[in-house]
Structure formats: structure tokens, C-alpha cells
């Protein structure tokens, strides 16, 4: 065994499941940055196998390719398996089998972690190996490790963020370039940010999976996506964006969770108005930002590239190095089983609302039934920001107004 400045060099064999955008990025980072990885960590990573059902000719990793999962699962020389296939099937079975074989697993698969995280963390604990997923939230931005380690001395009360690069890119194009929703989505797909099925981005499911992972980590119990109110951006129009702008706001897809006094949590994903001077308003393009509110630290903002081949691969390789450094032991990491009645219905939580009525002359009526924080009338329309109220009570009051609103969007105070 060789020595370097950090002591004895550790040699670790790595396999990758899925040679798509992220998987090929991981192979590239491990191979191109081998010297830096060794220098930074004292670990030499050797890529041993790559699983993919597709044929890849003339690529520098051709000799490592296999279509047979058993070549990886039954290879006792493989220490760490990277799962970058996406989806639940067959990723869940493959990851479970690798953990049972005593291999550490690192994944970027947010759907897998959000839906099966508790089961896989339990399996990892039973087999004394690590199951790490830094890349599952925020691409290249360190978020999981800071929350679970650096902020472990805090009680976290709230997390809010822009956790989907595709929708942020689309909204940004609509705001800045006045581009239509459809054209902006097409551009995001061409840039390779969007999910294979872009409805996962546009309808908010990707952001929902990510906030579920963060809520599980911060509040200690698995939070499943199907229990979380999720609204995407497909109903947001250029008119909404322009009107929000007139009042000094921008519209962002905000994923948020909060510990309530009742001991339940609020968690939801929806478009929301944020003040133009808010730190989240300045998060543009494919960038993500995650705001964490700790009782000791106050607000912390983590910001960076939330999607993309090498940014995401960087987070995966960081976890691989962590597994290698902790090869003999399992890290204390994860969360407990789901808890019944843990999530408060979103209608029972407090919010402010933005309303647009395509009519003027209704100020008095509106002020009679709603708490009004801001109201302007122009160009034949009335724009309102309500005061804070329980969502279902605000909606009930809006239902009594003689004119139906043409737009209702939540307003946040981040």
C-alpha cells in the first residue's frame, strides 16, 4: 500500500448502474479527476463495471460495460455501487440486492429516495453499509450533508427552496424574455435539464420528491410524496407574471416545509409570489437555492447548479469518497419510519394570496370580506395581496365575492 500526505492510500472499486447523463458524468469525474480525488482524500477510485442495457460503441469505458446486473452484484471486489438509472423499477431491486451483498450504495435518484428511502436506509443499517444520496436534492449543491451534519446542533424549523431547475428556467424565460411556457419548456429540454417525462418537472413532482427528502431528514420521519399537496407551473400565464411584477413580486415554484406548533408539519409545492428583493427572487435559470431556518444559525441559504451532468456527478462522487472513507463502518444517517397524522392539510395552514379580478370597482366589497394587505386597480383589473389567513378561510371568503378571481396564487414571505 502506498502512502500520500493523508496517510495510507485506500483503493476502492466502483460500479455504476445506468450510463445516462449523470452516470456518464460520474464516470468522467472519477476518471478525469482521479489525481485530485487521491490528493484530496487519499482514496484511489477504480471504475470496474458499468451497467446499461444500451450499446455504447467507441467510448473510453466500453470495456467496462455490461448488460447483466449479476456481473456487478456478484462481484465481491466491487465496494461501492452508484445508482443513476432513475425511477423505481428496477433501481429499487438492484439497490436492495447490492446493500444485502454488503456494498455501499450512492444514488442521485430522488424518486427512489423519496419513495423508498426508509426501507433502503433500514437495509443499509442491517447490512452495516452506507446508503448516501447527496445528489438527489439540489444537483451539485451540498444540501443533504449540511442539514444532517453541519446543522445537527440546531432545531430546524423550516426549509424552503427552488428545487427544480427546469421550472425555474421556464419561469425565468417567461419573466425576462417574455417567452411562452411551451417555448421555454422546449429550450429546457434541449439543454438537458428536464426529466425524461417533463411533467415530473412541470407538475411539481420532482420538487415534491426533493422537499420530501429534506423534510424526512430535518424532521426525522419518512414523508412520502403522495401525501404532499403539489401544484406545478402549467397554469401560470404571462399575465400572472406581469401582474405579479407590477406589485413588486416574481413567481417561483417554491417547495416548502415547516414544523408547526402542533407537532405536525406543513409541506407543499406550489407556485408562489416572492418579493423582488427576496434572496429567492434572484435565483435564475437552472440554479437552485435552499433556505434552511435553524434555531441557532438563523437562515442559511445554499445556492448553486441544481441540475446538469457534471454538477450532479460531483455530488455523487463526493458520496462515493465518503463511503470509501467510512468503508468499515456505517454512518449515523437517515430517518425513522413514517408517523401517522404527521402532515397538516395545506388548507389548514396560514398563507397570503395574490388575487386578480378582471374587474374594477370591487375594492369595498373585497375589503369587507378579506384581510387586504395591498390593492391596486388599473387597466380594468383589480390586483390584491391578502393579509395572512388560514387558506381555507381565505378561499371561503373569496367565494362570497360577487366576481370570481381570474387568478389565485399563494404569496410567501421568504
Binding site for ligand HSE (CB under 6 A): 139, 164-166, 193-195, 201, 206, 306-307
- The distance of closest approach from Cβ of residue 108 to ligand HSE in the complex, given in angstroms and rounded to an integer, is 8
DSSP, collapsed to helix, strand or coil, labels residue 359 as coil
DSSP, collapsed to helix, strand or coil, labels residue 208 as helix
Name the residue nearer to ligand HSE (CB basis): 193 or 414. 193
Contact by Cβ (8 Å): 387, 401: no
- The distance of closest approach from Cβ of residue 116 to ligand HSE in the complex, given in angstroms and rounded to an integer, is 17
Name the residue nearer to ligand HSE (CB basis): 94 or 133. 133
Question: Active-site residues: which are they?
Answer: 210
- The distance of closest approach from Cβ of residue 412 to ligand HSE in the complex, given in angstroms and rounded to an integer, is 19
Contact by Cβ (8 Å): 9, 1: yes
Name the residue nearer to ligand HSE (CB basis): 206 or 243. 206
**Phi, psi (degrees; rounded to nearest 5) at 122:** -65, -45
DSSP 46-102: EEEEEE-SS---S-TTGGGEES-THHHHT-TT--EEEE---SSTTHHHHHHHHHHTT
- The distance of closest approach from Cβ of residue 312 to ligand HSE in the complex, given in angstroms and rounded to an integer, is 7
CB atoms within 10 A of CB 296: 9
Name the residue nearer to ligand HSE (CB basis): 172 or 201. 201
**Phi, psi (degrees; rounded to nearest 5) at 184:** -65, -40
**Packed helices 309-325 and 34-41: angle between N→C axes, nearest 10 degrees:** 40
Contact by Cβ (8 Å): 269, 211: yes
Name the residue nearer to ligand HSE (CB basis): 49 or 256. 256
Name the residue nearer to ligand HSE (CB basis): 267 or 307. 307
What span, in angstroms and rounded, lies between the C-alpha atoms of 386 and 42? 57
- The distance of closest approach from Cβ of residue 201 to ligand HSE in the complex, given in angstroms and rounded to an integer, is 5
**Phi, psi (degrees; rounded to nearest 5) at 337:** -60, 160
The kind and range of the H/E element at 245 are helix 238-246
- The distance of closest approach from Cβ of residue 233 to ligand HSE in the complex, given in angstroms and rounded to an integer, is 12
Amino acid at each position: 500500500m502506498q502512502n500520500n500526505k493523508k496517510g495510507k492510500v485506500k483503493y476502492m472499486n466502483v460500479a455504476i448502474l445506468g450510463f445516462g447523463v449523470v452516470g456518464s458524468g460520474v464516470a468522467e469525474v472519477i476518471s478525469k479527476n482521479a489525481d485530485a480525488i487521491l490528493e484530496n482524500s487519499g482514496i484511489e477510485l477504480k471504475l470496474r463495471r458499468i451497467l446499461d442495457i444500451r450499446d455504447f460503441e467507441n467510448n473510453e469505458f466500453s470495456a467496462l460495460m455490461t448488460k447483466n446486473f449479476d456481473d456487478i452484484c456478484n462481484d465481491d471486489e466491487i465496494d461501492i455501487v452508484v445508482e443513476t438509472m432513475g425511477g423505481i423499477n428496477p433501481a429499487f431491486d438492484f439497490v436492495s440486492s447490492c446493500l444485502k451483498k454488503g456494498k455501499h450504495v450512492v444514488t442521485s435518484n430522488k424518486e427512489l429516495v423519496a419513495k423508498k428511502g426508509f426501507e433502503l436506509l433500514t437495509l443499509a443499517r442491517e447490512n452495516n453499509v452506507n446508503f448516501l444520496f447527496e445528489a438527489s436534492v439540489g444537483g451539485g449543491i451540498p444540501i443533504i450533508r449540511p442539514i444532517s451534519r453541519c446543522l445537527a446542533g440546531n432545531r430546524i424549523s423550516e426549509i424552503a427552496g427552488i428545487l427544480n431547475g427546469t421550472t425555474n428556467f421556464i419561469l425565468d424565460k417567461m419573466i425576462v424574455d417574455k417567452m411562452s411556457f411551451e417555448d421555454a419548456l422546449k429550450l429546457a429540454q434541449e439543454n438537458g435539464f428536464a426529466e425524461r417525462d417533463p411533467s415530473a418537472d412541470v407538475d411539481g413532482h420532482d420538487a415534491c420528491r426533493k422537499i420530501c427528502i429534506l423534510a424526512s431528514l430535518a424532521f426525522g420521519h419518512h414523508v412520502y410524496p403522495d401525501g404532499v399537496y403539489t401544484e406545478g407551473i402549467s397554469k401560470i400565464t404571462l399575465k400572472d407574471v406581469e401582474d405579479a411584477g407590477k406589485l413588486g413580486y416574481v413567481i417561483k415554484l417554491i417547495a416548502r416545509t415547516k414544523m408547526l406548533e402542533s407537532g405536525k408539519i406543513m409541506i407543499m409545492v406550489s407556485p408562489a409570489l416572492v418579493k423582488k428583493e427576496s434572496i429567492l427572487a434572484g435565483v435564475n435559470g437552472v440554479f437552485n437555492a435552499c433556505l434552511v431556518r435553524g434555531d441557532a444559525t438563523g437562515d442559511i441559504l445554499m445556492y448553486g447548479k441544481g441540475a446538469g451532468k457534471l454538477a450532479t456527478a460531483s455530488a455523487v462522487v463526493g458520496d462515493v469518497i465518503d463511503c470509501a472513507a467510512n468503508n468499515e463502518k456505517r454512518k449515523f444517517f437517515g430517518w425513522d419510519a413514517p408517523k401517522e397524522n404527521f402532515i397538516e392539510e395545506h388548507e389548514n395552514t396560514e398563507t397570503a394570496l395574490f388575487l386578480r379580478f378582471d374587474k374594477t370597482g370591487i375594492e369595498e366589497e373585497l375589503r369587507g370580506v378579506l384581510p387586504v394587505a395591498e390593492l391596486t386597480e388599473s387597466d380594468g383589473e383589480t390586483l390584491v395581496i391578502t393579509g395572512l389567513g388560514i387558506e381555507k378561510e381565505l378561499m371561503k371568503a373569496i367565494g362570497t365575492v360577487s366576481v370570481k378571481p381570474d387568478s389565485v396564487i399563494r404569496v410567501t414571505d421568504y
